[in-house]
Amino acid sequence: MLPLEHHFRYHPPLTLTKLKPFSRANSRVSLPHIDNSFHRFNPNPCRFRCPISSNDSLRFGLRVGHRASWVCRSTGEPDSAADSGEKKTGSSSSDEDADSNRRKGGWWSRWRRWRWQPLIQAQEIGVLLMQIGIAFFVMRLLRPGIPLPGSDPRSSTVFIALFYAAVLAGLLHRFPVSFSQHTAGQIWNRKSGPSAGTKSSEQGETITFADIAGVDEAKEELEEIVEFLRNPDRYVRLGARPPRGVLLVGLPGTGKTLLAKAVAGEADVPFISCSASEFVELYVGMGASRVRDLFARAKREAPSIIFIDEIDAVAKSRDGKFRIVSNDEREQTLNQLLTEMDGFDSNSAVIVLGATNRSDVLDPALRRPGRFDRVVMVEAPDRIGREAILKVHVSKKELPLAKNVDLSDIACMTTGFTGADLANLVNEAALLAGRQNKVVVEKLDFVQAVERSIAGIEKKTAKLRGSEKAVVARHEAGHAVVGTAVAKLLPGQPRVEKLSILPRSGGALGFTYIPPTTEDRYLLFVDELHGRLVTLLGGRAAEEVVFSGRVSTGALDDIRQATDMAYKAIAEYGLNQTIGPVSIATLSSGGIDDSGGAAVPWGRDQGHLVDLVQKEVQTLLQSALAIALSIIRANPAVLDGLGADLEEKEKVEGEELQKWLRLVVAPTELATFVKGTQPPLLPSQTGS
């Protein structure tokens, strides 16, 4: 047995395994000192010496935490060089570099805890036991008295059996590696692994607040969290605690996920992202287990940020209003989430960010202070915000723009677009320019991209022919004539800019483009609402006049929009004199219930109000159609000329369109309906 001399300043329990001999006389290594009391490395070295008399020295492996290993290697130098510390192994220096990287971040930096790992994984032991069981089973079958196919030497199947046995032996030889490294590992990660369903931002690009625009109010709310993670002493000395949770509420595409990543990027902390739908499994208890693993991982990597996207998937209210069927798995997951968010230490540097577009269905226990202390509304950007978002995406893509491109004009054309819509718009404009082999992106490319986003993609092969083409052309011309009459009566209303009868994806056979106003509007007045109703029904009115009452189904979408607008005007906005300022939805639900409990309907009067609302909606829409018919009859030459021009060219815009629309006149009935307090009676109503 070879002598082994070693000396340590501290003697931690070490595992030395003999790996492989190599030919050197003396080998030595410098190892970092392990301090069990603080669970971190001490830079003071500890040395051990392996003087070996033979030509072959031993190679040892040391397994400490994270499977790190240090191996004795030959230095080929006298012992004095090793004692003086002039030579150090590469493994030690690399670990010191890794430790210095772990210290980055700020006040919260802690040394990573190192733990002992087993030399043999559990799944490898399972595979080994399975192989032993197969071997015992085969040996039992080979005992005398158990007949097997091919046991007769005269049978030709004995050679086939030997061939199968050889193949089986080869598979068993390779089976442990493939199973333990792939299949078993995947099952463990998918079922109960701490990283199941989570992603860390360390593997992707770092996102900061400079990469986000158009949501300045939300950024200001989240900057306070970043400031706490950077400089906690400023708040701790005043007795303030950080918010344990922040709920981001907004429409899809407004940038909730991007804001969460920016918080982690600004604070330079681990970002653990997951979707709430990944918590719900077939087997009861799996969701709660995943929640525990998620928070355990976040506490190990503290300070850190947990981001749960679409949190309403597991956090719906349990009061019965939004609950159709009982789901024990979902409730257990929610209870575990509530427990974990309550179990945080007051000084814990783990912050939970949740995102949803349905905050009204969340459980009240989740929204209370102490869990989600702050609710940040992430709304669609305004005109200035849209322009800033466009600038961010153009600069990020390094998009070469033509001189006629003004991003403020593009921002005015994209009212209601979210950040995701604008990012897709910039990409679509670049693709359209690339298809035509352009060097720069022109304004026309952005305009076409906006039209594709609003109305759909033009179909190149599907063309209208015959009577259908004539009907669609007069339908779109009717929208243009009626819309122009309304715009002349109401100052500040946008005018029609483009007509097209090229079919588009989504089922639209024609397209009338009326751009939004240059400034964002937050209110809609009653005269503007009546004007929109008349414009929506202008296409149906043109079909009735031109084709003598033989109308088509082309007004399907127009009628849907008009009905929705008329119902909201009467049942929600209170713009009807007969019903008055009453919210029918609140009456139907029994009033507003802030406690989250089930509301009791008010009973008998509910059915009467619903019937009255339906009657008033029908009256309003019939009146709007009557006004549209009067406008069409007052402008027959414009309708025929514009309709024939559109039928021939399939697309009319610019000055060619405006020369027809300048001839439109607005009848007096339109002013009575739009600005009056009482809609005019239809001819069928005067005789009743």
For the annotated catalytic residues, the residue numbers are 476
Listed residue (456, 453, 569) closest to 502, CA to CA = 456
In the structure encoding, which two tokens stand for residue 573, read together?
Answer: 């906005």
Whose structure tokens read 């490319």? 445
Specify the DSSP class assigned to residue 269. -
Specify the DSSP class assigned to residue 63. E
Residue 103, classed as helix, strand or coil, is coil
Residue 45, classed as helix, strand or coil, is strand
In the structure encoding, which two tokens stand for residue 104, read together?
Answer: 């980055």
- Reported in sequence order, the residue ranges of 625-674 that DSSP labels E, i.e. its strands, are 651-653
Q: State the Cα–Cα distance between residues 466 and 102, nearest whole angstrom.
A: 73
Q: State the Cα–Cα distance between residues 605 and 284, nearest whole angstrom.
A: 45
Alpha helices, DSSP H, located in 414-457: 419-435, 443-455
Q: For residues 666 and 489, is the Cβ–Cβ distance under 8 A?
A: yes
> What type of residue is 161?
A
Residue 202, classed as helix, strand or coil, is helix
Q: State the Cα–Cα distance between residues 502 and 508, nearest whole angstrom.
A: 9
Length of the chain measured in residues: 688
Q: State the Cα–Cα distance between residues 415 and 278, nearest whole angstrom.
A: 35
Listed residue (331, 323, 300, 74) closest to 194, CA to CA = 300
Whose structure tokens read 């059996």? 161
Q: For residues 26 and 54, is the Cβ–Cβ distance under 8 A?
A: no
Q: For residues 666 and 631, is the Cβ–Cβ distance under 8 A?
A: yes
State how far the alpha carbon of 51 is from the alpha carbons of 8, 9, 22, in Å: 16, 20, 13
